[in-house]
Every structure is written in C-alpha cells, then in structure tokens.
Structure 1
Amino acid sequence: AAADERVDALLCGGDLYEHERFSPDTAAFVRGVFADLHPLPVFLAPGNHDWYGPQSLYAQVDWTDNVHLFTADRMEPVPLADGLTLWGAAHRAPANTDGFLDAFTVDRGGVNLALFHGSERGGFLRQEEGKAPHAPFQASQIAESGLDHAFLGHHHRPTDALRHTYPGNPDPLTFGEDGDRGLVLATVAPDGSVHRERRRVGLTRIHDRHLDVTGCASQQEVRGRILRWSAGREGLGRVTLTGDLEPEVDLRPAELEREVAGGLDALLVRVGTLRTAYDLETLAAEPTVRGAFVRDVRAADLGEDERRRVLMTGLRALAGRDDLEVV
C-alpha cells in the first residue's frame, strides 16, 4: 500500500511482532518487506511487545539503509526535510516504561512530528478497558511539548484526534475488534496540521453477536437460528447465546461449533445469560417430589439469583440431566 500511494515515508508505532514468539523466519520476512520498499524511508518505534534490546529481532537484523530504528527510551530527532522533524523513542523493556513526553520539549522550529508507542490517558483509554497503560501521556502534553502531531501505537481501536492518531491494528487480533481495519495516509501541511485518510488493508472479518434463543425447544432450533445469523458471512464468528430455553433442550456448544460454521472459517459458541423456561406455578402444584422441591425452594430464605440457580440445578437433576451448571 505504501508503494501504491507513493508516500514519502512509512511509520510504524510498535508491536510489529511478539518478542516471545519471533523466529528467524519472522526476521527474514520483516527485513524483506522493508527492503522491497527501498529507497522509501521506514521509521520504527518499538513497543512493549516488540521492545528493543540485544536479543530483540530489531538488534539481530541487518537492515537496509532505508530503515531507521529508534532505540533510545527518550525522544530523539530525525530530520525529514527542511523545517520538518520526526521525533521517536523506543520501549526497552516489556513493562514499566515512563511516558516519553514527560519533561520533553521540542528544541527547534518548523513542523515537529512524533512516533512512539504509548497510552493516551484520556477518554480513549477508557474505551479500551483492560488494556494496560504503557508509556502513558496526556493528550495535552503533545502541544505543550511543542509537537504538532503524534503518530501512535498501542491502542487497537482506531482514533483520529486533533493532535494525535492511533491507526489501530491493521487486522483484528480478537473478537470485539470489528469494523474496517487498515492504515492511515497522513498529509502534513506547512502549519503542522494533518489531513488523514484511512485505507482498509485488513483481510480478516470478525463477527460478534449476542443471539437470543428464547423459545427454542431443541438444539436443532438453536442451530437454525445460528445458521440464519451466519448465512453469507465470511471470516471468524462468535455467538453468545442468551434468552429463555425450554427445559428439555440439552445444549452442547461444541457440537454447534462443528455443525454451523457455514461460510465462516471458524465459529465460537458461548453460553451467556441463558435461563430455563420452567413453568414454576404448574410445577409447584404437582403432588410429586418435583413439586415438593419447587415449593420448598420458593419458600426458602434465598436471594432471587441463588433461588433461580438452586431451582434450575435441582430440576435438571430430577430430570436425569448431567448439564447441572447454571449460569
């Protein structure tokens, strides 16, 4: 895509590979990709997953001269053109990297851009819960330091802010990372403002759905609902089953995964908040062991959720079922 767009430089904000998983083949592949772009300048700012060190892929590869690797854990400048400077820094450990913008100030005029791997601590961070902060910074620090714009790695969700850009990962890595994935084509104006266009390059499609199976009286009916949802979809799918199932349904997610993938490359079936649709009033009126059990549990001093779980587990056991776990 970089060659097709005839860009002036390619920037990568880290996590290009996994430090614990790379092999000589990984190194040869990455080197070859960037060598094929020669003489296009390529700038790499290692992140927390591909941190720079003596044993890193970055230190072991004999890079072509179009590749510039930031290796210091502080911002360092590289002139791109008259009046245009790119500042960059590297993670040198997998964790506990301080913010690169802390105590940093641009020492020259012109347009100043930054490339690094870090966690913006504002609203965007709250959108990606569970993502550990690395080299944290406040968005306000970009302008305060004298930078015009920062191109960033770390967050997987794309975002275009006034002074910074997260392109997001070019291909989804897990469920929840839906939508188009790709690269950012950035045009830098003489005043330091940035115009961005996104180009989709992701090959993998992710489909994630909470599927209501209320009223289904058999696994085959559940299967039919999943098939209707998955029809025409390609890529990877995940369905989380919710709703009220009839008590006779013996749900087996592993079998459903094998049976209903359809055009999907793979399907994951999860059990979400599923409840069994017992008619407790009718059951409580029965002159049976089952009826006595329902009456006793309903009269017991239990919380509503605990009461539901006890009822469901007991009724399944009395029916001779072995799927006694209740969610």
Structure 2
Amino acid sequence: MKIVHFADLHLDSAFAWCEASGDVARRRRDALRDALLAIVDLVRETSADALFCAGDLYEHDRVTLDTGKFLRQTFASLDPVPIYVAAGNHDWYGAESLYATEDWSDNVHIFREDTLRPVRLASGITLWGGAHCAPANTDNFLGDGFRVEGEGAHVALFHGAEQSWLAAQGEGKVPHAPFDTADIRNAGLDHAFLGHYHRPADGAHHTYPGNPDPLQFGEDGERGAVVATISAEGTVERERRVVAVTQVHDLSLDVTELTSRQQIRDALRAAADGLGGLARLTIGGDLEPSLDLHEDTIREQLLETFDAVQVRKSGLHLAYDLDEIREEPTVRGQFVRDVMDADLPTDERRRVLRMGLRALDGRDDLEVL
C-alpha cells in the first residue's frame, strides 16, 4: 500500500523566531495551512491509500477554533481516504484538545493512548500508533517489553526522539518519548514513521519527514512529506516530495573589503537578488572605522525584499590600525600606548582596545549588532 507521511507542521506558531509580527506573522501561519493543503493534494496526486501524521500538527497553547474547523474540513475533504494521527508533545491528546473536541469525519483515526495500539491498514499490514497524552514525560513507546503480535508486516506511527540522532544533530531538542533504533526491530516492527525532529532523516527502519514548511532559520534538507510504499513483507520504499510554501534564507555579509556605505548597500542588494520570504543576515569581518553600520538601516533595506528580517553579528570588529594610532600625539594614541604596554592577557588587551577606541570615537552602531 502507498501512504503519505508528514509531521511537525506546528499550525498557529507564533513566528517570533524570525522577528515577524502582525500581518507578516499571520501570513506565515497561513503558509503553514497552505503546506497542509499541498500535502492533501499530494495524497490525491499519488493515489495514496492513507495519510499519516506523526504529531505536532498544531500548537496546543495557541491553537484557535478556526484552526480546528480548518483541520476538520481539510481532513474531511479526503474522505474516504483514511488519516491516522499520533499526537506529539505540542499537540498532545487530552480532554480539551482539538482531537477530543472536534467532530472529525469518519476517515480520521486519532490514537488516544500513550501505548501503541494496532489498526489494520490492508491485507497483511498492521499499523501501531500511540499518542502523547501530556506535554512532557512521555515514555518510550517501544519500552516495557512491547512487542507486536500477528503475521504480516507491522509498522508504527508515533512522535519520539531516536537517541543517536538526537546526540549527532545537537538540535537542542528535548528527548520526548526517547528510544533507540534497535528498539524498532526488537519490538518486531518492520518500520517506524516518526515525528519530532525537524531535519529529514531516513534510517533503515525509520523515517523522519522533517517539518513540511520552514519553522526556523538554518533548517536544511527538503521541506515536505514522504510518499512511502509498504509491502506485505515489511519493506518500505520512500520518496520525498517538497510542499514548502515559505522561503527562508540565511545570508552573509563580510564587510572586510567594504570601504563605503554604498558598497554595503550594493552587497546587500546582490545578496537579496531574486529572493523573498524571510531572511537572517549574519554580518562579519573587519569594518572600516569610518563607516557607520546600524542594524535598523540594514533591516530597512532588506525589508524592501523580505517579509521579515533578523540581523546578527559573528566575528564583526572595527579594523583599527593600532600601530598607526599608537604614533598619534592624541588621547587615542596615549590610550593605545598605555594598553599595549600594560601586562594584560592577549584577549583582554584586544577587548579593552576595541571598547576604548569605540568609546573615544563615539561609536554606538555596533552595540546593537
């Protein structure tokens, strides 16, 4: 049988991470809805037999009644194609969750227990699904001696943290429902369709689709859903399909060779050419002391192209010629001579010189970067 698998859509996210607010944040939340509609279209396009969702479909603490209606109508539009939902730590199942309060169409199957329960998918194929029933402290779904029963292929659907991936990626993710890769086969499962990690990952016996539309800067890999074919023997063939609506870009600006404000403007214009959506700009290098570099001015220029912009610095310094300043018959010169002659560690001397020279020059533009 063929299925479409996705997770971690996070409907109703605040989008504070990209410094978006007002209409911009609302457009980003609408883009998440558009991504779900694209996933539903993918089910139709591929003639899939079922749709899997491995949790964090929405944000429990922010979700609106309108989002509940949107989900109910969207899932109903696929009827009679079945939809299987395994709630995660952000959309955990409870008496007040959308999963309990909405009047879902007959094709929607929501797992409601924190232990894996079986559902017959097709001849010779069984799905085992479970839900987070609290925002934290969900145990390993594959622990406590869990083992599948019955003949044929067995696959699982849940939201959990495979621990080797957690350690390798260093995503800063909390290990909700942690498990080891070996637990999948030890439980008699052929494959686990998972959610929680936002980076796509294809293991021999597990699949993380990643979030289908960007949720933060720095995300790599294709943003979309997985089309998988499950055989009665338990083999799984996968194909990733992009459904992302939001464009997120990481830009960089090295100011070392730039000597005028116009060159900075030209460099920003070239970096943003042909792009749109959201952007994070990282500024680094040695800045010519005579140049002003204000964050608000840079953001204002980039907002001519992007919906929202975040500006940060990494290794950005003023390019003072200390040898030249030291020879000056000025307060600056005396300051540099005194610091250079002082018995200070190298890093502290560098910090004192930069802070002092900035203060003497009346510079405040780098403090906000």
TM range (shorter): over 0.9
Deviations, residues 244-284 of structure 1 (Å, cap 9, x unaligned): 00111221112111113443333322222101111100111
Deviations, residues 56-91 of structure 1 (Å, cap 9, x unaligned): 111110111100000100011011122210000000
Residue 205 of structure 2, aligned match among 154, 163, 184: 163
Cα displacement (A) at 1:180: 2.7
Instruction: State the partner residue of 1:44.
Output: 85
> Relative to structure 1, is the Cα distance of residues 323 and 258 closer, same or farther in structure 2, using a 3 angstrom cutoff?
closer
Deviations, residues 269-306 of structure 1 (Å, cap 9, x unaligned): 22221011111001111122111100111122323222
> Relative to structure 1, is the Cα distance of residues 223 and 276 closer, same or farther in structure 2, using a 3 angstrom cutoff?
same
Residue 258 of structure 2, aligned match among 216, 236, 245: 216
* 1-structure distance, mates of 2:130, 2:93: 10
* 1-structure distance, mates of 2:267, 2:160: 42
Quick one: which amino acid aligns to residue 27 of structure 1? G
Cα displacement (A) at 1:178: 3.6
* 1-structure distance, mates of 2:53, 2:66: 20
Residue 146 (structure 2) pairs with residue 127 (structure 1) = no
- List aligned pairs for 1:1-327, cutoff 5 A: 1-103=42-144, 104-123=146-165, 125-323=167-365, 325=367
Structure 2: gaps (5+ residues): 1-41
* 1-structure distance, mates of 2:184, 2:362: 65
Which range is displaced more, 103-112 or 157-166?
103-112
> Relative to structure 1, is the Cα distance of residues 5 and 87 closer, same or farther in structure 2, using a 3 angstrom cutoff?
same
Cα displacement (A) at 1:211: 2.5
* 2-structure distance, mates of 1:160, 1:49: 23
Quick one: which amino acid aligns to residue 175 of structure 2? P
Contact 1:230-1:262 within 8 A present in 2 as well: no
TM-score of the superposition, structure 1-length normalised?
A: 0.96
Cα displacement (A) at 1:227: 1.2
Cα displacement (A) at 1:315: 1.0
Quick one: which amino acid aligns to residue 127 of structure 2? L
Deviations, residues 142-172 of structure 1 (Å, cap 9, x unaligned): 0110000000000000011100000011000
Question: Greater helix percent: which structure?
Answer: 2
Cα displacement (A) at 1:324: 6.8
* 2-structure distance, mates of 1:272, 1:287: 33
Quick one: which amino acid aligns to residue 335 of structure 2? F
Cα displacement (A) at 1:240: 0.3
Report the RMSD for the aligned CA atoms in angstroms.
Answer: 1.6
Quick one: which amino acid aligns to residue 259 of structure 2? A
Structure 1: gaps (5+ residues): none
Aligned residues: 327
Quick one: which amino acid aligns to residue 239 of structure 1? L
Secondary structure at 2:45 match in 1: helix
Contact 1:313-1:325 within 8 A present in 2 as well: no
Instruction: State the partner residue of 2:28.
Output: none
* 1-structure distance, mates of 2:366, 2:153: 65
Cα displacement (A) at 1:17: 0.2
* 1-structure distance, mates of 2:60, 2:52: 20
Cα displacement (A) at 1:179: 4.1
Which range is displaced more, 46-55 or 283-292?
283-292
TM-score of the superposition, structure 2-length normalised?
A: 0.85
* 2-structure distance, mates of 1:326, 1:172: 27
Secondary structure at 1:259 match in 2: helix
Structure 1 vs Structure 2: percent identity of aligned residues? 56
* 2-structure distance, mates of 1:212, 1:21: 39
Contact 2:200-2:221 within 8 A present in 1 as well: no
Instruction: State the partner residue of 2:32.
Output: none
Quick one: which amino acid aligns to residue 212 of structure 2? P
* 1-structure distance, mates of 2:331, 2:164: 59
